[in-house]
Structures are given as C-alpha cells and as structure tokens.
Structure 1
Amino acid sequence: MMLPPAPAHLLDADGVPCFGRYTGQLNAFDWAALAPPYARGALWRLFHHKRWHYVALSTPTLFCGVAIVDLGWTSTAFAYAFDRHKGKIVASFSQDGIPGLCASVAPHAGGSSRFRFLSHLISIEAQPQQRYRLQLDCGHFGIDAEFGPPVAPTLLAIGPVAEGGSVHATQKSGGLPLWGSVRCGAMGYSLDDGVASFDYSNGLLARETEWRWASAHSLDLGFNLQAGYFGAHENALWLDGQLYALGRAHFDFNPDNPLAPWHVWTEDDLLDLHFKPEGARREDKNLWLAASRYIQPIGTFSGWVRTSAQSPKRIVAQLAGVTESHRSRW
C-alpha cells in the first residue's frame, strides 16, 4: 500500500494526533497542545519525553552508526565504525551528557542536532536542498560526511504508545547518496559512493520500553521494521523511489546468541529476509535512575520483498544493514 502525503501538523486543531503513516516531513514536532486522553502533566512529560537523531553510513568496507539522544532528564550520544572486512569495531565513542547542556536534538528531522562534551563534538547539520552534514571529532575517531538529497520519500509515522506511554512520532529516510571520510586512529576510510539513512524520533514513551528493529538501504531498495512499543506503525519498504506500508514484523533470533542468523518477516507476506551478522555493537548500562540492554548486530540481509501480494518478488542479496534488540528503563 502506497502512503498518503504528510499532514501539515503533528496535531489537529483540537490537539488530537494525526495518527497514520505518510510520505514527507513535518516542520515541527510539538506535543504541547496534546489533548486528552493522550495529554500528560509537565512533570510526567519531563521524564517521559524522548528524542533521538540517528544516522547510518554504509559502504562495502565500513558501517557507521551515530546517535544523539535527549532523554529529557539527561542526554547521551554514541558512535561507532565497523570494518566489515575485519569483522570488528575499529573506533567507538559513548558518553552521557549533562542535562540541558550537552545535547541539542533538532525539533524536526530537517533540523540540526549537536552533542558536545569537553573536546568531543558530534553534529548533524541541515544544509540547503535537503542535504545534511555529519561531523564527529572524538579524539582518534573522526567523521566528515555529507549525504542527500533523498531519492525517495521520507516516512512519517504517528501513533499511540502502549503500556505506560502516550504518543510517538518518527521520520525515517530511505537511502541517501553519501560521500566523505572516516578517521579511525591511523586508518582512513572513504565514504564516497556509499549510502546513508537517518532516523528522527520524538515521543512520550513508557518508563519501560523495549523493541526489536531492522533497517537496511541501498539507493533503490530499503526497509524499516520495528516490533515492540510502537507496533507496526513505522514498518515500511522503499522500492524504486516509492514508499509502501508493511504489516506487523516478526523477529526470530536467539537472544542468548544474537550473532547467530536472524529471520525477519512481515505478516502481510511482503517481506521475508534472513540476516547474517558480521559483528555487533553492545552496550549495557545500569545507572541509579536508568538501565538499558542494547545490542546492534551489523551484517547483511538476503531474501525477498514485494509491494503487494500480487506483485513479483524482488530478490534482496546481501544488503548491508543492522538489527537491534533494546530494552530500556528510562
């Protein structure tokens, strides 16, 4: 199913969220006028409003993930570079920030986000003509990348959050043309002719939040899948410049051995993929107020996708991307 164009605003004139899946980007994500039954008090919003800006950079040699996260009462950021030939992470950065000082997450997907801690800097800057620049300077680890403009519509998904949350909205891009460079100590990598993608998310989430996620993109084919707190709202397929809705996703994997193969499929019979991990980024935190268990395997997807049950299957062969299993108390 192809998707309708995005509404002009996140909420209608009565404060009701414009629930649904759309193509296009919003210019503002603002929950202040949210109406009952989704409205919450200011203190609740302070502790439950979560925003993040994530960028993936992919080439045949290297995969990088970079995120800036505002949790309301604190902030954090991480970045890593995974050498696909060596099968290991060759540079990484992770840092919690000082509340209100270290992180600034954009008010919408077309905006700019920044994280600064001492001499370390990560910035995702919007450029003219729907282009973006990602800069990272974290000691031995550096990135200078540019990507865009989009070759396919951006996904907008707005929906309710089950079990203790309120509402959530996200923008996901398809594959974006990429160029630039990555510095990992004495090693240098080119990003030219690679593929980037971004995830901008903004919502009022539950104290306990859990999800599985999968994402992979070339310039003509890509997908985003999630199972957990947001249901099937953000499940989508990009194919030949068009964006299509996908049904509920299933993730068959071994939580005790996440580097074993995964099987990912959708109930509408439009996607069936097997994921072969090449390595993973892991991070477990157990703080006084919060805790998280996180693993993001990097690898390749193979199988098939299609745009309807009557359409021919498009073969997917070793498409680079990630899966993820994440549980947070935040």
Structure 2
Amino acid sequence: MLPPAPERIVGADGQPVLGRHAGILRGCDWERLAPPYARGALWRRLHHKRWHYVALAAEQMFCAVAIADLGWMTSCFAYAFERGDGDMLANFAQDGWPGRFSASLAADAGGTSTFSRRGVFIELGPAGLSLRSPWLEIDACFGTAPAPALVASGLVKGGAVHATQKTGGLPLEGEARTWRGEYPLHGGTASIDYSNGLLARRTAWRWASGHGAGVGFNLQAGFFGAHENALWLDGGLFPLGPARFIHAADDPLEPWRVFTEDDCLDLVFTPVAARRDQRNLRIAANRYVQPLGTFSGWVRSAPDAPKRMVSNLAGVTEQHFARW
C-alpha cells in the first residue's frame, strides 16, 4: 500500500517530495523550489504545463473533457460518443490566446478549472463538471471514490519536477445532451487526471486508463516513467511496474496490448473511435491521438495474488508528442 500524500509537494525546505502516495495533490508551488531544482521566472513560464481532464463512462455514452494551460496559451477539448454503435456525437476544441479568453487552471487537484470563449463554458472540479457549448452540454456530479487517489511526483529529464493526481471510480450522476438527444450518466463512473509540472520543450508519452465499478488502472510510458502507474481494485490502491504498449503506431484503431513488467496487468484494448489532433504552429507542435474503447484481460494487486478477470472495461489509450 502507498504512504499518505504530503501536505505540500514542495516542502518548507524547497525540496520536492518525490514518489507515489495516496491522497490529494497540494502545493505545486514551483517558484518555491530550491537548488538543484530551482529555475528562473522566465524559464518556469515557458516550461510550466498544467492540464485537468475528466472521462465519464456511462452505459450509453463515453465523454472526455480537458482544459490545458501551456503557459503562453490555454486550450480545451471535449468529445462524446455513443457506446452502442461507436458514433461520435460531439468533438470540438478551442484555443485561447492571452487577452482573448477567460481561463483559469486550478493550482492543485483540490481546485476548480474553468474555460470560457466563443460560446463554450467549462467548469471542472473535484465534485463535478459543467459544460455548455453549441455541440455538447454536460451536467455531472461526482460521488466519493471507493479508493484513494494516486499522487505521483518525480523528476523530468529536460525539465524539472512534475506532479499528478489520478482519481478513479468516482460514482457518476447527471446528464449529457447532444444533437441526438439526452443521455443519462446515472450508474456510470468518472476518472480525473490533474497534472502540473515543469516539463521539457519536447515531451512524448503513451497512456492508458480504464475505470469501472471495483476496478481501474492508469498506465504511462514516456516522459514520466512508471511514476503514475497504479491499479485500483476492491477499494485498494496498488502501485504497478513499468508499462509496455504494443500497437500499430500508424493505425491506432487496431487492437492494443498493454501490460506491466511486474506481471500484475495484461490487457487488450479494442478501439471503436478516436479523437485526433495534429498542428504545427512553428513555435509549437502537437501530434495526438486518443482512441476510445474497452479493455479485456486480467489484473492483480501483486505478482503472487490471484488474477481478476476484466471484460469490456471502458477507457482510452493515447499517443502524444508535444513541442511546447
């Protein structure tokens, strides 16, 4: 089991508290970092990246919403697809430039993030999500998670320090509305990703996340190593080893196999749709694809524990490169 999260990620001595913990991420005060992690104000402004993401998995619909602050630009995206036939019901993104948008990213995982521009309003916090747009509306309330959240912090090559909180298995209530009609969210689950760090100019990763009643996981391979790899099982939170992703990089809608080197997770992901984004803004670039679908296979809390079979667990995978 993981130790409790610290009161603040940056301690009174200016040193970050590194490692994996259970609880709430607080105190990402990177300006308080002491040597050897301290950086100048301009460097921090250019390298400070934050994002707040939530996935909603209900019987009929899967939705995802995110707000990101890149330091010199803020952006958001949202999508929804019908799980029965895989139809994408909504998919939009907006960028906000300084002076032309109203956005605020939470200082840590206990806060609320907002985005407002051109008829789009998003408010995302630990208790719920409110979204208004011409293409999609969501009113969602989150219950208490059956297991603690993962708090992970570590060093980043080419950057400084990164921290994240992953919260899974939140009971879900509310409704999503699209051009096709109204979709109840009752009985579903929500999972939240809050990340905050001083990252490298070029950052890449692969990611997988799936959550349901009694079981969920988060895996990452790339800039953050195995720091955020974890399994939620029957009310417990268990660290996982380094993750391996086997997939066709040029065709993300082919099945993926994901497994961990500690022999605690082995799953096959079957995509049904994907959100893609590829942009080159000269000073920055982004190549991103997030397939949505279901995971099947097995998980366990330790190499000598019995395997728990997993079938049709809703979630996502992702491959992402950013020059930011």
TM-score normalised over the length of structure 2: 0.97
What CA deviation, in whole Å up to 9, does each residue of 1:26-66 have, x standing for no partner? 33321111122221111111111001100000012211010
Relative to structure 2, which stretch is displaced further, 237-246 or 284-293?
Answer: 284-293
Count of residue pairs the alignment pairs up: 323
- The list of structure 1 runs, each at least 4 consecutive aligned residues, that deviate by more than 6 angstroms after superposition, is none
**2:297·2:311 contact (CA, 8 Å) conserved in 1?**
yes
Quick one: which of 220, 225, 233 aligns to 2:227? 233
* CA distance in 2: counterparts of 1:141 and 1:156, whole angstroms: 31
**Partner of residue 141, structure 2:** 146
What CA deviation, in whole Å up to 9, does each residue of 1:246-296 have, x standing for no partner? 000000000111100100000011111111111111111111321111110
2:98 is the alignment partner of 1:104: no
Structure 2 gap segments, 5+ residues each: none
* CA distance in 2: counterparts of 1:145 and 1:266, whole angstroms: 33
3-state SS of paired residue (2:283): coil
Measured at CA, do residues 157 and 205 of structure 1 come closer, stay the same or move farther in structure 2, by a change above 3 Å? same
Relative to structure 2, which stretch is displaced further, 177-186 or 203-212?
Answer: 177-186
Relative to structure 2, which stretch is displaced further, 31-40 or 196-205?
Answer: 31-40
State the AA in 1 paired with 2:132.
D
2:170 is the alignment partner of 1:173: no
State the AA in 2 paired with 1:74.
M
* CA distance in 1: counterparts of 2:296 and 2:125, whole angstroms: 33
Displacement of 1:15 in angstroms is: 1.1
* CA distance in 2: counterparts of 1:121 and 1:92, whole angstroms: 15
TM-score normalised over the length of structure 1: 0.95
**1:144·1:180 contact (CA, 8 Å) conserved in 2?**
yes
3-state SS of paired residue (1:173): strand
* CA distance in 2: counterparts of 1:186 and 1:267, whole angstroms: 43
* CA distance in 2: counterparts of 1:44 and 1:51, whole angstroms: 15
**2:23·2:148 contact (CA, 8 Å) conserved in 1?**
yes
* CA distance in 2: counterparts of 1:177 and 1:111, whole angstroms: 19
Displacement of 1:186 in angstroms is: 4.1
**Partner of residue 58, structure 2:** 59
State the AA in 2 paired with 1:104.
S
What CA deviation, in whole Å up to 9, does each residue of 1:80-131 have, x standing for no partner? 00112221311122000123643211111121110000321011145xxxxx
Relative to structure 2, which stretch is displaced further, 79-88 or 248-257?
Answer: 79-88
State the AA in 2 paired with 1:324.
E
**Partner of residue 3, structure 1:** 2
Displacement of 1:188 in angstroms is: 1.5
Identical positions, percent: 59
**Partner of residue 31, structure 1:** 30
**Where does 1:280-295 land on structure 2 (aligned, <5 Å)?**
280-295=274-289
* CA distance in 2: counterparts of 1:33 and 1:154, whole angstroms: 25
2:11 is the alignment partner of 1:17: no
2:270 is the alignment partner of 1:271: no
**Where does 1:42-57 land on structure 2 (aligned, <5 Å)?**
42-57=41-56
Aligned-CA RMSD value: 1.1
State the AA in 2 paired with 1:135.
S
State the AA in 2 paired with 1:211.
W
**Partner of residue 193, structure 1:** 187
**Partner of residue 262, structure 1:** 256
What CA deviation, in whole Å up to 9, does each residue of 1:176-201 have, x standing for no partner? 00011111124211111111010000
**2:72·2:97 contact (CA, 8 Å) conserved in 1?**
no
* CA distance in 1: counterparts of 2:7 and 2:199, whole angstroms: 23
* CA distance in 1: counterparts of 2:311 and 2:279, whole angstroms: 35
